[in-house]
Amino acid sequence: MLKKLILVTVIIGAFLAGALKVSSSHDTAHDILPKVIYSQGNETL
């Protein structure tokens, strides 16, 4: 359980880092990040 939680956190962190690198403005980053977290959360559930 704990290992899976850590793995999910690492995956989300990688997505967030990628989203931040891809997006040039902070506005788009704030729009993308919550969607990424939400979609990842739904997949794990």
Per residue in 2-38, pLDDT (tens digit) is 899 888 898 888 887 777 676 555 555 566 667 776 7
Q: Which region, left, alpha or beta, applies to residue 15 given φ > 0 means left and ψ of -120 to 50 means alpha?
A: alpha
Q: CB atoms < 10 A from the CB of 9, how many?
A: 11
- Residue 16, both tokens: 């967030």
pTM of the model: 0.41
> Does 44 have pLDDT greater than 70?
no
Q: Are 19 and 29 in contact (CB under 8 A)?
A: yes
